[in-house]
Amino acid sequence: MRSRTTSTTSPSKAKLTPLVPGKEDPNRPLVELTHVEKHFGALHVLKDINLTVAKGEVLVVVGPSGSGKSTMCRTINRLETIDSGDIRIDGKPLPQEGKELANLRAEVGMVFQSFNLFANKTILENVTLALIKVRHMDKKEAEQLAMDLLARVGVDSQASKMPSQLSGGQQQRVAIARALAMRPKVMLFDEPTSALDPEMVNEVLDVMVELAHEGMTMICVTHEMGFARKAADRIVFMADGQILEENTPDEFFEHPQTDRAKDFLSKILTH
């Protein structure tokens, strides 16, 4: 939120959009991948990936297992390096290391399949930890913000518990609150519901839908096609390390263009 040149600086306006930094500059893509290539040894996992995600856009990434969906997500906050090509967040190339990289990670929230909460810390501490250590926020202030976010995802009553005392769905909502606490510009979700019991899937998807409606920029790898139809602005279909299709949900589901996408949809939709 550095060089904001907006003249609408009334406190009430600032309060209304706290989770969506950067939203008011709609023209520049927030995430931009250009000619991205990645190998794991001999395995060519990302092949000439070109992708832009606009501010406030919800992109859903689907495709068969091993097609490179997770790897692509992980390159965006530089959990994986790339061999060549260019990745930019809000116009800036990804930093290589150090403080800049830590800042980038704070701008790009990520929620994985496994919940990754700190097992020996309370729910509240899980959310306040980075606020205090990385953002140097006062403890009281951090706790207030954390409680607000926990309330948004419906688990504020669990604040003093340990992660193991929560259901998977609750833990995953805490993980989302923890990522949101850093005020990310974009949220990456990598199959956030696939480790959950079926009855807990919707409580997490509901939080994601709400976030989408609030205008958060989101990249979501998911097999939840109901969510994709409801929340996605655009679907990207990957196979064998390539983006084979990019379309609106209606077009993608009703009129898949490639045999790979038709095959994928016939398998996933008949389950």
List of residues contacting ligand ATP (CB under 6 A): 40, 43, 45, 63, 65-71
Number of residue whose CB is nearest Mg ion: 70
Q: How far is the CB of 194 from Mg ion (least distance, A)?
A: 9
Which of the choices Mg ion, ligand ATP, none does residue 45 contact, using the CB cut-off of 5 to 8 A by kind?
ligand ATP
Distance CA 13, CA 16 (A): 5
User: Which is nearer to Mg ion, 70 or 170 (by Cβ)?
Assistant: 70
User: Which is nearer to Mg ion, 155 or 220 (by Cβ)?
Assistant: 220
Which of the choices Mg ion, ligand ATP, none does residue 71 contact, using the CB cut-off of 5 to 8 A by kind?
ligand ATP
Interaction with Mg ion in 61-90: which residues (CB under 5 A)?
A: 70
Which of the choices ligand ATP, Mg ion, none does residue 119 contact, using the CB cut-off of 5 to 8 A by kind?
none
Which of the choices Mg ion, ligand ATP, none does residue 171 contact, using the CB cut-off of 5 to 8 A by kind?
none
Q: Tell me the site size for Mg ion, rule CB under 5 A.
A: 1
Q: How far is the CB of 167 from ligand ATP (least distance, A)?
A: 23
Q: How far is the CB of 222 from ligand ATP (least distance, A)?
A: 10
Distance CA 55, CA 62 (A): 20
User: Which is nearer to Mg ion, 128 or 264 (by Cβ)?
Assistant: 264
Give whole-number Cα distances, 127 to 16, 85, 103, 159, 233, in Å.
Answer: 21, 34, 17, 9, 29
Which of the choices ligand ATP, Mg ion, none does residue 6 contact, using the CB cut-off of 5 to 8 A by kind?
none
Distance CA 88, CA 97 (A): 15
Which of the choices ligand ATP, Mg ion, none does residue 68 contact, using the CB cut-off of 5 to 8 A by kind?
ligand ATP
Distance CA 34, CA 12 (A): 38
- Edge to edge, what strands does the sheet with 92-93 contain? 43-53, 31-40, 84-89, 92-93
User: Which is nearer to Mg ion, 71 or 126 (by Cβ)?
Assistant: 71
At residue 183, φ and ψ (nearest 5 deg) are: 55, 55
Which residues, including other chains, have CB under 8 Å from residue 102's CB and lie 6 or more apart?
134
Q: In 3-state terms, what secondary structure has residue 185?
A: coil
Contact letters for Mg ion, residues 22-61 (x by CB under 5 A): ----------------------------------------
Q: How far is the CB of 142 from Mg ion (least distance, A)?
A: 32
b/e burial code for range 67-93 (CB count within 10 A of at least 16 → b) = bbbbbbbbbbbbebebeebebbbbeee
Question: By C-alpha distance, which of 222, 244, 240 is closest to 67?
Answer: 240
Q: How far is the CB of 264 from ligand ATP (least distance, A)?
A: 11
